[in-house]
Amino acid sequence: MGDVQESVVRARAFQAVVWGMPAVNYRLMYDAAVGAGMGGENQILWWPGLMDWRNQSLTPNPDVIYLMPFFTTENGPVVLEIPPADDTHKINGSVMNYWQAAIEDVGPAGLDAGAGAKYLILPPGYTDPVPLGYTLLQSDTYRGYALLRSIPAGQSDSEIADAVAYAEKIALYPYTPDGVTGTTVRVDGLDRPYDAAIRYDASFFETLNTVVQAEPWLERDRSMIDQLASLGISRGQTYAPDRATLDALTAGIGDAKTWLDERYQALFEAPYWPGTHWTMPAMPDLITSTANGFSVPGAYPVDDRGLAYTFAFFSSRHLGKGQSYLMAIADQSGQGLDGTKNYRLTVPGNVPVAQYWSLTVYDATTHTFVQNSPRLSYSSLAEPDADPAAPVDLYIGPDAPAGVPETHWIPTLGTASFEVMFRLYGPQQAYTDKTWVLDDLQRL
């Protein structure tokens, strides 16, 4: 391979990584689900209990009951049943296509507004009539998944069990014209390894090839056909790069990793509250495009989308309505969060949420849970009888603080660097108008 050709392959590998990140992210989650025992598509991988560090996906929430229905409509529409919500039973989540673009949100903050629904997920170009009683979701890809969370009323054993029982009412099965309810296959992922972390090596392109083989090209992505063909990735063709191409691909993904890391750091230059180091890790152009099915004229924020799926999975059609997220990677002095140091975070009282709030710690190098950590987060669900007006002191670091409830300490196990996410479920006005302020972590 000549120098010019090597430069072309390296540059195109860079672009392929950024463009393909959300679909590769999805495929890694699907493959991890199969590794955890799921038999294939149109089945639900779920965690009938609170997950632990063995779930190595990108910034998940360990305080809720997770369900991931993976679907394919290649053989026809698929039904996703969401049960009605009430004061103590709620589902938050979205149904997404293969590229993790939200088709619609479900549950109280979604299309059914808490009434529950039989959602009928339609394949691309589907025009056959369907009977009344279904809420239609038109997907532009055959495959996709839903990320659903059953919210416990608290974290006692009985409250967790109740949230699990409610989650078990969610159903997924192929549609039949006679409307007969099909059998739902649920696979228990609790206590099983689930590794869906992004791999920044040549295996990324093997997964990207699987993506290209699985789904027809979307019209907006046709410009990538020749780009990927120059890397040895063509629909209907075997992927077998030679040594020189693999070397150039490896260099290209290394360039992409460096660039994406720099862009991630730059997100925190725009704090949510002036003078703090908290930021909302959401990009306006990406939010707008996602909410409009990437149909906004003159906008296709591939760079923002690629960045977002390096540290998260899932998208919401209406971000901020059902949940909102804030992240921090630095303390009050602007120094990076160091897993060998100890910190305190004081959460002011009257957190403006209708449901609950939580703080979760992640390894900053992988954006996954700190491996082997016995405790990953603190949630207000853990102390439902606490005075909501009272501030809460939380401690993060390798050393257990003296005289502090164990649940208020999140161990870092000395990891090189960490990041924190503050979640608000059912955010209220004092959050959106920024009259309620969360201060920075204080290094002790």
pLDDT tens for each residue of 253-284: 999 999 999 999 999 999 999 999 999 988 88
140 and 218 fall within a common domain: no
Write a three-state SS string for 397-440.
ECCCCCCCCHHHEEECCCCCCEEEEEEEEEECHHHHCCCCCCCC
What CATH number has the domain bearing residue 214?
1.10.3360.10
Is it the case that residue 425 has pLDDT exceeding 90?
Answer: no
Establish if 149 belongs to a structural domain.
yes
Please give the average per-residue pLDDT across 35-46, as a whole number: 97
Q: Domain holding 396: CATH number?
A: 2.60.120.600
Last residue of a domain, one of 192, 217, 251: 192
Q: Specify whether 159 is located in the same domain as 177.
A: yes
Amino acid type, 328: A
Q: Which domain holds residue 58?
A: 37-192
What is the domain-level CATH number for residue 84?
2.60.40.1610
Res 55: pLDDT: 97
Q: Tens digit of pLDDT for each residue in 149-167?
A: 999 999 999 999 999 999 9
Residues 328 and 383 in one domain: yes
Q: In this structure, is residue 57 part of a structural domain?
A: yes
Is there a single domain that holds both residue 14 and residue 146?
A: no
> According to the model, what pLDDT value does residue 371 have?
97
- Residue 29 is assigned to a structural domain of this protein: no
Q: Is the pLDDT of residue 401 over 70?
A: yes
Q: Which tops the pLDDT comparison, 322 or 423?
A: 423
Residues 167 and 290 in one domain: no
Q: Take residue 387 and report the two structure tokens written for it.
A: 């005075």
Say whether both 282 and 387 belong to one domain. Answer: yes
3-state secondary structure of 378: strand
Q: What is the pLDDT of residue 285?
A: 92
pLDDT at residue 172 tops 90: yes
The pLDDT value given to residue 321: 67
Task: Reply yes or no on whether the pLDDT at 291 is more than 90.
Answer: no
Q: Compute the average pLDDT of residues 104-109.
A: 94
Is residue 350, in this structure, part of any structural domain at all? Answer: yes
Same structural domain for residues 332 and 427?
Answer: yes
Task: Return the residue matching tokens 């009951």.
Answer: 65
Residue 376: pLDDT band with limits 50, 70, 90: very high
Looking at residue 316, its pLDDT comes to: 86
Q: Name the domain boundary from 246, 264, 282.
A: 264
- Buried b / exposed e across 407-437, counting CB within 10 Å, b at 16+? ebbbbbbebeebbbbbbbbbbeeebeeeebe
List Cα–Cα distances, 194 to 51, 106, 170, 369, 381, in angstroms.
10, 25, 22, 12, 25
pLDDT, position 303: 97
Q: What is the pLDDT of residue 128?
A: 93
Q: What is the pTM of this model?
A: 0.95
Whole-number percent of the chain with pLDDT over 90:
90
pLDDT score, position 385: 87
Domain match, 113 and 149 both: yes
User: 295 or 75, which is more confident?
Assistant: 75
* pLDDT score recorded for residue 131: 87
Query: How large a percentage of the chain has pLDDT more than 70?
Result: 99
Same domain, 157 and 60: yes
Q: Does residue 129 sit within a domain?
A: yes
* Residues 6 or more apart in contact with residue 118 via CB below 8 angstroms: 79, 80, 81, 133, 134, 135
Q: Give the residue-averaged pLDDT of 81-99.
A: 95
Q: Is residue 176 part of a domain?
A: yes
The answer to whether 189 touches 10, Cβ cutoff 8 Å, is no
- The answer to the question of residue 31 being in a domain is no
User: What is the average per-residue pLDDT within 98-120?
Assistant: 96
DSSP state of 407: G
Residue 32 lies in a domain: no
239: tokens are 């992927």
Q: Of the given ranges (19-28, 182-191, 315-324, 380-389), which has the lowest mean pLDDT?
A: 315-324
Task: Give 295-330 pLDDT, tens digit per residue.
Answer: 889 999 999 999 999 999 989 888 766 788 999 999
Q: Where is the domain boundary, 145, 160, 192?
A: 192
Q: Name the band, by pLDDT with cuts 50, 70 and 90, for residue 293.
A: confident
Tally of structural domains, the chain: 3
DSSP-derived 3-state class of residue 419: strand
The mean predicted confidence, pLDDT, of the chain is: 95
Co-location of 146 and 206 in the same domain: no
| pLDDT confidence bin for 19, thresholds 50/70/90 | very high
SS3 of residue 183 by DSSP: coil
**Res. 185: pLDDT tops 80:** yes
303, 439: one domain: yes
Note whether 253 and 298 are same-domain residues: no
